[in-house]
Structure 1
Amino acid sequence: MKKTTFLFLFLFLTTSFAFSQVLIDENFDAGLSTPTGWSNTDLANGGVWSFANSGEAPGFGAANTVLYDEGFSGSYPIFDSDAIGNDSEPEDAYLESPTFDASALTDVQLTFNHVIRAEFAGNGFVEVFDGTAWVQVVLFNSTNNTSGANELDFGFKSYNVSAQLAGVSNAKVRFRWVGDYSYFWAFDNVKVFSCTETTAPTAATATTPANGATNVAIDVTGTTPLITPFNWTAGPSATVFNLSLGTDTAGTDIGTIDGATNGNGITFNWAYDTTYYWSVESFNCFGSTVSAVWSFTTEADPALSAASFEATTFSLYPNPAKSSISIKSKSQLTSIEIFNQLGQRVMQVEADSMIENTININDLKSGIYFMKIFAGNQEKTMKFIKE
């Protein structure tokens, strides 16, 4: 999956819409069995839906978290066609919701998170009961899937089913798998609701990294490089966000994170001295609005800067520091600049204003900072902690 090449520092929250009348809200977390009121039916003697809580997607390697990465939480239903086996027995099974009353509504919406890998005649049907018959809302298979390559589809899904269910007193929704040794389908967080919003949210605006920011710091202390946080200012009615990231000016070639949480960091194989482009799509139950595309440029590679200096020429002490920090150097300093973790320059000091290469940092807030040291036409970036 394209999106799994980068992850939030923290897991994003379950997708939800405010300003709505909720008819079905099922997260399947009551246990590893069919929830009360739901029916789990086998139409072809080929197996029924099972329930799991590991977050693992079959075929993606041991101990993967693909399902949780796509917005799942806790327990969830899954039809693992490959686990049932290649026994030439056709599989046709559905998981059906309780009846709900939409007779007084003019707007009905259906949302869920899912991951499906369907090939070899595997089909995932989402259907609703309109009071008389079952009506197909969407079909997922190797021909129709759009989120991933060929047989894959995944992420948060939203459908307007007003035409099928508005005014219906005995409405239902079901997820029906048809296949035979055809991979798997899993879903979670099924919601049916009526939207009370009348317009899509206003577009988000970037806060951090600021549009056009330079020297954005990359934290390499973990196993995967991290940039944090990604903040934006959202319209008051927006409740769900998708964040897109790229190195092309459209900001989409790396991928999109569905259900993004405002203020989280992103771990990714960030490159030094590289311009990235990003945008945020804001959702409410009425619709969505895509922001402008913003850009930021990461810091230069500290290792390359350091290579231009003599070995062990520079050091910072004390580190961590409280009120002042000193630079031990064999070279004549020109100036220093200090950046916060957002890539914002918070201090600039010329060498002739320093006493014994010591800088007063009383005005800095506690946290991690990066000091860029200039000596003639050479420079080096070093990290320090302000207590």
Structure 2
Amino acid sequence: MKNITLLFTLVFSVSLMFGQTVLTEDFESGTTIPADWTNLDIAGNGEIWTIESGGEAVLAGAGNTLIYSAGGATGNYATFDSDDYGNNGTAENAALESPVFNCSALTSVTLAYNHLFAGNFGGSGFVEVFDGTNWVGVANYSADNYAGGAINLDVTNELAGVANAQVRFRWTGDWSVAWYVDNVSVFQCPVSAPDQVTMATTPANGATGVEINYGTTNNINPFEWMAATTGDPADSFNLSLGSTPSGDDIGTLNGFDSGGGINFAWQPNTTYFWYVTAVNCAGSTQGPVWSFTTSACTETSAPVATSSPSPADMATDVAVNVDGNRVYFSWGTGAAGTDYTLNLGTTNPPTQAFNNFENGDPITGLALDTTYFWSVDSVNCFGTTVGPVWSFTTNEALSVVEEEIEVFSVSPNPVSDILNIKSVNEIDSVLVYDLLGKQVANFNNNNIDNKSVNLSSLPQGLYLVKITSGDKSQTIKVAKK
């Protein structure tokens, strides 16, 4: 059985400033390749591109939505699923070719697309343009593990002035993994490339003692920087991370917003390097390479196991609050500096993990008259102590008792873009997590507008929104439509 490992995943969106557009394709016209595109079987083995939807990337775990969350695809997308064609011993070479488009009036040309690529086991992806005479390569992908995002390529040298231009996505491999492509466009950008970002604010350049939030996957949060105040604006930013002064040997997160956190196998007392690239439709501009050093580990043993759970082990008729079907979770804490991962599920052992869970916080969306299993793992820099598995059964009717901590409500829910927060106090922060406990959005005072946050960039699905005001916090399950 083939397996691949993910380095990190993220959610992002890019809103490009289009000028004159000569090609656009979102693959939403049907369940087959659009009629004006060519599905070219160069190898002649019948293995070609298809149209898929649902967001599930092959070999990345059942139910994943990486094509949407990490690739930025929406709805339908073009797919070459090498893994699905199987171990038949035939080499693959297949190109998805656009119709001819006219760039004769364009003085600058940008090619944009969203994609997710995994080339494990010999797969390669080639982005090529036809310059009126020959196919010319403008990007290629061959690395293992899924990576991708929103891509903007300056193809002015290849296509400006060309009346019979084309673009194609060509896959080669043999029982490799897959390539997913969506939202292809070619246009003249009305702005210039952005100026580079000016400075790192958090972690500051040269900072030491940067704290790691330990968990199932370690986290450092936030990463913040100052964007340029000169020149044309950036549409998005890519954050590159490294363990060497190049600043990018670990990988790059496309579409990363300032203020977000990164889940990674961070190590104590280690120096990391990072830089931010400002991107718009005219191109990208790399910023300076910064560095920081994580705090040293002074622990000599893993933390003690958690105890004294609430809800109590085997408790029955546990109240589920009417506001969001919430149940609060708490336990006896150990030493300072311990982080906690709460695991929850309807089977034993529970498999849904909430990293860096705050003792006393609620989880919303629980069902009535249902038995849940849960455990809390204690984590510090030395190691992890797996806690015992407890259980409780919810009652048969919703509780209408309001507790003092319940100080927030949100609307609309489900939400398509703007989520409004009702609170008598100012909102300090809003953190958004997927149901695997991975932080996918982060809002603070600078980007919370009149107690509202914009969730339009998130794919459809369920999310846990943690709202904090002063010493009060509450987690609410929100459906994104």
Range into which the TM-score falls when normalised by the shorter chain: 0.5 to 0.7
Q: Distance in 1 between matches of 2:221 and 2:28?
A: 31
Q: Distance in 2 between matches of 1:124 and 1:291?
A: 28
Aligned twin of 1:100: 101
Give secondary structure in 2 for the equivalent of 1:202.
Answer: coil
**Would you say 1:187 and 2:181 are equivalent positions?**
yes
Aligned twin of 1:196: 190
Unmatched 5+ stretches in structure 2: 304-332, 337-358, 361-425, 430-469, 473-481
Q: Distance in 1 between matches of 2:26 and 2:156?
A: 22
Tell me which amino acid in the other structure corresponds to 2:471: K
Aligned twin of 1:237: 233
TM-score by length of 2: 0.52
Give secondary structure in 2 for the equivalent of 1:271.
Answer: coil
- Asked if 1 retains the 8 angstrom alpha-carbon contact of 2:126 and 2:171, the reply is yes
Tell me which amino acid in the other structure corresponds to 1:51: I
Give secondary structure in 2 for the equivalent of 1:83.
Answer: helix
- Given the alignment, which residue of 204, 209, 215 partners 2:203? 209
Aligned twin of 1:28: 27
**Would you say 1:260 and 2:260 are equivalent positions?**
no
Aligned twin of 1:291: 287
Unmatched 5+ stretches in structure 1: 321-364, 369-384
- Given the alignment, which residue of 159, 167, 186 partners 1:165? 159
**Would you say 1:174 and 2:168 are equivalent positions?**
yes
**Would you say 1:386 and 2:380 are equivalent positions?**
no
**1:1-387 mapped onto 2 (5 Å cutoff):** 4-8=6-10, 11-13=11-13, 15-18=14-17, 20-29=19-28, 32-35=31-34, 37-42=36-41, 44=44, 46-60=46-60, 62-63=62-63, 67-68=67-68, 70-74=70-74, 75-87=76-88, 91=92, 93-112=94-113, 113-117=115-119, 124-131=125-132, 133=133, 135-138=135-138, 140=140, 145=141, 148=143, 157-177=151-171, 181=175, 183-220=177-214, 223-235=216-228, 236-299=232-295, 301=297, 303=299, 386-387=471-472
Please state how far the C-alpha of 1:158 moved relative to its aligned partner: 4.3
Deviations 1:241-279 (A, max 9, x none): 221223434433432212222221111233344443321
Residues 1:302 and 1:19: Cα distance change in structure 2 (over 3 Å): farther
Aligned twin of 1:378: none
Equivalent pairs counted in the alignment come to 310
Aligned twin of 1:380: none
Q: Distance in 2 between matches of 1:179 and 1:276?
A: 34
Please state how far the C-alpha of 1:2 moved relative to its aligned partner: 11
- Asked if 2 retains the 8 angstrom alpha-carbon contact of 1:213 and 1:296, the reply is yes
Tell me which amino acid in the other structure corresponds to 1:386: D
Q: Distance in 1 between matches of 2:196 and 2:90?
A: 51
Q: Distance in 2 between matches of 1:96 and 1:259?
A: 27
The structure that has the greater radius of gyration is: 1
- Asked if 2 retains the 8 angstrom alpha-carbon contact of 1:118 and 1:185, the reply is no
Alpha-carbon RMSD across the aligned residues, in angstroms, is: 4.3
Residues 1:180 and 1:247: Cα distance change in structure 2 (over 3 Å): closer
